[in-house]
Each structure stands twice: as structure tokens, then as C-alpha cells.
Structure 1
Amino acid sequence: MRQFTAIVNPTAGGSAGAAALLRVARLLREEGAELETEYSRSLAHAQDLARQAGERGRVVLAVGGDGIAGGIGGALSGTGSLLGLVPAGRGNDFARALDLPSDPSALARVLLHHEPRQVDTIEVESAVHSRTVVLGSVYAGVDALANRHANHARLLRGAASYYAGGLRAVATWRAATYRVTVDGEEHGHCGYTVVAANSAYYGSGRMIAPGARVDDGLLDVVLIRAAPRRLFFALMNELKSGAHVARPEVRILRGREIRIESDRPVPYGADGEVDAVLPVTARVLPGALSVLC
């Protein structure tokens, strides 16, 4: 029987994480599994707790949204430790990419009985963040600005905060000139964003990279070129289904290492947590993480 250590950030998402964990924890314990709960003071503290639990051979449960999932998953990347997710955030995009069930009973069965799956992670390097590892995507442009607005939203939650943040970001955005290097080949780009995606989803269920797979050893690079704002708003709606990739303003590349640079201090983000400016390098780490899904 598996032994679990659940890591919860009590300051993120209010009581949602604790409530989600309680529903699953009861079911795990009824099956005879041992579960301990750790409350983190920060993402760095959560990562330390995760490493310590992993070293003791315990399954580490990241309880929350993409920030804590990416932070803990990044900390466990390459260690051989086993990760489980209890989705309880605004986006839950990596859980969505793994097709994790939202029903507590079904999720408990996954955590108790499913075999681990090896998935890729993303090593992120920049002048500000010398090295970090995340799970879902690295994005540079208007979406990073939208995510910053969403993180500071007080009245809106979930998808609504991302949508409102997107409207605010697009209203003030002017096209940036990028230099995107994919596996050594340089590509010029002028537009709204560049996304290096391990997961198909970001921004609370938006399918930015429909062809991305978490276990193929590659990153899908999505480039959205400059276009009238009214067209970009239409494109934002198409992100729900992935239909945007058929537009001529959207270009898809694939590679293992992506370097993104720009002509001005363009913001970038990663799994909703890193808030910095370009340049940045994203490098896939194939099969680096074991996860229950």
C-alpha cells in the first residue's frame, strides 16, 4: 500500500486545497493507505518538503493549482520520486493534460492503484532565474502579462480572472519583435506571444498547443503573429477548442531546446509562477518525472 505526503499551501486559493484533500484523504485512508499532511509557507518551502518526502519513499501529493503542481513536480524531476496531484486551483491545466478525474473517488483509485507514467518536464534558465524546472509551459508576451493581471485579481477567480486579465493585457499590448531559436535554428517573429508547451493547456483550460504531448520528448512552440485586436479576441475564443492553429497568424514549431529573446523587456511566465522578463531558454527533460495519472 502506498504511503502519501500531501503538501498544501494554506495561503493559496483559500480553503479550496484543504477541502479537496479532505475528500480524497478519507477515501485513501479507508483503503488502508497512510497519509500525512504538510502545510507550506512558500513555494520554496513546499519544494523542500517534497524532496524530503520523496527521499523517504513516499508518494508526494501536490494539492492546489498549476503553481504548486509545477513547483513540486519540478523539485521531484529527475529524482525518481513519485508525484500525485489533487487539483484544487484556478487552472489545473497539467491535471487536465494528464486526464485526471475530478471526482474524488475516481481520483483516489488513480492514486492508490494506477501505475506511474513517465512524463517530460521543462528546464527553464534565465539571467534572473538561473535554473528552475516546471511542467506545463513557458510563455512570453501578452499571455504572461495577462497571467500577471489574473494573479493580482481580487474579485474574480478561475477562468474569469484569466479572461479579464487577457482583455486588460491585449488592450495595452503592442507587438514585440522576437528572436526564437529552436534547436539551433533561428526564427524571426513579431507579434503577441511565443509559447514553449509541454502540455496542450494553459490559462485555465485554453488549448494553446493541441498537438503537445507530455511524454514525447519535444516542446511545441506556438507563435502568434501581430494582428488587429478584434482578430486576437476572436482567436482567444478559439483557444477553447484549439481551432486557432488553423489561422495564418499562428505558427507551430517543435524542438527540444528553445531560446526566446526580444527587442524590449517582454514578460515571461512558467506554470503561472515565474514572473520575469526575456531572454529565457526552455529545454525539455524527457521522461524526467514519475506521476500517477
Structure 2
Amino acid sequence: MRQFTAVVNPTAGGSSAAATLLQVARVLREAGADLRTEYSRSLAHAQDIARDSGEQGRVVLAVGGDGIAGGIGGALSGTDAVFGLVPAGRGNDFARALGLPDEPEALAKILLDAEPRRVDTIEMRSAVHDGTVVLGSVYAGVDALANRHANQSKLLRGAASYYAGGLRAVTTWRAADFRVTVDGQEHAHRGYTVVAANSAYYGSGRMIAPGAQVDDGMLEVVMIREAPRHLFFTLMNELSTGAHVARPEVTVLRGREIRIEADRAVPYGADGEVEADLPVTARVLPGALKVLY
């Protein structure tokens, strides 16, 4: 029987993480599993707990949203530790990419019975992130600004906060000149955003990179060019299905290492949490993390 350590972000999803874990924990314990619960004081604290528990052979569960999932998954990347998710945040985009169920009993069954499968992770390098590892995507431009607004929202949650953040960001954004280098080949790009995606989803269910797969050893690079604002709002709506990639304003590339630079201070982010300014390099780490899904 598996032994679990659940690392909880107590502020995730409007403080719903503990309540979500209780439902899953009941099923795990009824099945005879050992479960310890640890509440994190910070992301660094959560990562320390995760590393210690993984070294003890315990399955490490990230309880919260994409921030703690990426932080803990990144800390365990490259080790033999087994990672699991109890999605309880605003976005839960990496859990969505894995196809994890919302229903607690179904999720608990996966955690108890599924065989670990290897997925890719992303290593970031920049002036402030020297080897930081994340799970879902690295994005630069208007979407990083939108995510900042969403994280600052006090009234809205989930997809609503990301949509409102996107509207606010687009109304103030002016196109940037990017230089995007994919596996050594440079691409000039003037526009709104550049995304290096391991997961298809970001921003609470928006399918930014519909062709991205978490286990193919590649990153999907999505670039949205400069366009009238009304067209960009249309593109935002099409992110719900991934239909935006068929538009001429959108370029999709694939590669293993992507460097993103810009002609001015442009923010970038990753997994809904990491914030800094370009340049940044994102490199895929194939099969670096063992996950239950």
C-alpha cells in the first residue's frame, strides 16, 4: 500500500485546498493508505517537504493550483520520487492536461492504483531563474501581464479572473518586437505573446497549444502576432477550443529549447506564478518526472 505526503497550499482556490483534500483523504485512508498532511508556509517550504518525502519513498501530493503543482513537480523533476496532484486552485491546468477527474473517489482510485508514468518538465534559465523547473508552460507578453492581473484579483476566481485580467492587459498592451530562437533557428516576431508549452492548457482551461503533449519530449511554441484589438478578443474566445491556431495571425513551431527575447522590458511567467522580465530560455527535460494519472 502506498504512503502519501500531501503538501497543501492553504491559500489555493480561496482556501478550498484543505476541504478538497479531506474528501480524497477519506478514500485513501479507508483503503488502508498512510497519509500525512503538511501545510506549506511558502513555495520553498513546500519544495523542501516534497524533497524530503520523496527521498523517504513516499508519494508526494501537491494540493492546490498550478503554482504549487509546478513548484513541487519541479523540485521532484529528475528524481525517482512519485508525484500526484489533488487539484484545488484557480486554474488546475496541468491536472486538466493529465485528464485527472474532479470527483474525489475517482481521483483517489488513480492515486492508489495507477502506475507512475513519466512526463516532461521545463527548465528555465534567465537572470533570476537559474535552472528553475516548471511543468506546464513558459509564456511572455500580454498573457504574463494578464496573469499578474488575475493573481491580484480579490473579487473574481477561476476562469473569470483570467478573462478579466486578459481584458485589462490587452487594453494597455502595445506590440513588442520579440526574437524567438527555436533549437538554434531565430524567428522575428512582432505581437502580443510567445508561449513555450509542455501542456495544452493555461489560464484556467484555455487551450493555448492544442498540439502539446506532456510526454513527447518537445515544446510547442505558439506566437500571436500584432492584430487589431477586436481580433485579439476573438482569438481569446477561440482559446476555449484551440481554433485560434488556424488563424494567419498565429504561428506554431516545435522544439526542445526556446529562447525568448524582446526589444523592451516584457514580463514572462510560468505555471501561473513565476514572474520576471525577458530574456528567458525554456528547455524540455524529457521524461523527467514520474506522475500518477
Measured against the shorter chain, the TM-score band is over 0.9
Q: Is it true that 1:96 corresponds to 2:96 in the alignment?
A: yes
- The unaligned stretches of length 5 or more in structure 1 are none
SS of corresponding position for 2:51: helix
State the match for 1:248 in structure 2: 248
State the match for 1:43 in structure 2: 43
What's the offset of the Cα at 1:80? 1.1
State the match for 2:137 in structure 1: 137
State the match for 1:148 in structure 2: 148
- Greater than 4 Å deviation, 4+ residue runs: none
What's the offset of the Cα at 1:10? 1.4
TM-score (norm 2): 0.99
State the match for 2:80 in structure 1: 80
What's the offset of the Cα at 1:131? 1.9
Q: Tell me the distance in 2 between the aligned counterparts of 1:209 and 1:11.
A: 28
Q: How does 1:64-75 map to 2 (within 5 A)?
A: 64-75=64-75
Q: Is it true that 1:128 corresponds to 2:122 in the alignment?
A: no
Give CA-to-partner distance per residue, 1:38-75, whole Å, 9 cap, x none. Answer: 01100010000000000000000000000000000000
State the match for 1:26 in structure 2: 26
CA contact (8 A) 2:11 2:17 kept: no
Q: Is it true that 1:168 corresponds to 2:168 in the alignment?
A: yes
Q: Is it true that 1:11 corresponds to 2:11 in the alignment?
A: yes
Give CA-to-partner distance per residue, 1:16-59, whole Å, 9 cap, x none. Answer: 10001000000000000000000110001000000000000000
State the match for 2:194 in structure 1: 194
Q: Tell me the distance in 2 between the aligned counterparts of 1:264 and 1:15.
A: 37
Structure 1 vs Structure 2 CA RMSD? 0.6
Q: Is it true that 1:106 corresponds to 2:103 in the alignment?
A: no
- The unaligned stretches of length 5 or more in structure 2 are none
Amino acid at match of 1:85: L
SS of corresponding position for 2:121: strand
Q: Tell me the distance in 2 between the aligned counterparts of 1:5 and 1:268.
A: 31
Q: Tell me the distance in 1 between the aligned counterparts of 2:129 and 2:115.
A: 34
TM-score (norm 1): 0.99
Q: Tell me the distance in 2 between the aligned counterparts of 1:56 and 1:20.
A: 25
Matched residue pairs, number? 293
Identity of aligned residues (%): 81
Q: Tell me the distance in 1 between the aligned counterparts of 2:291 and 2:37.
A: 19
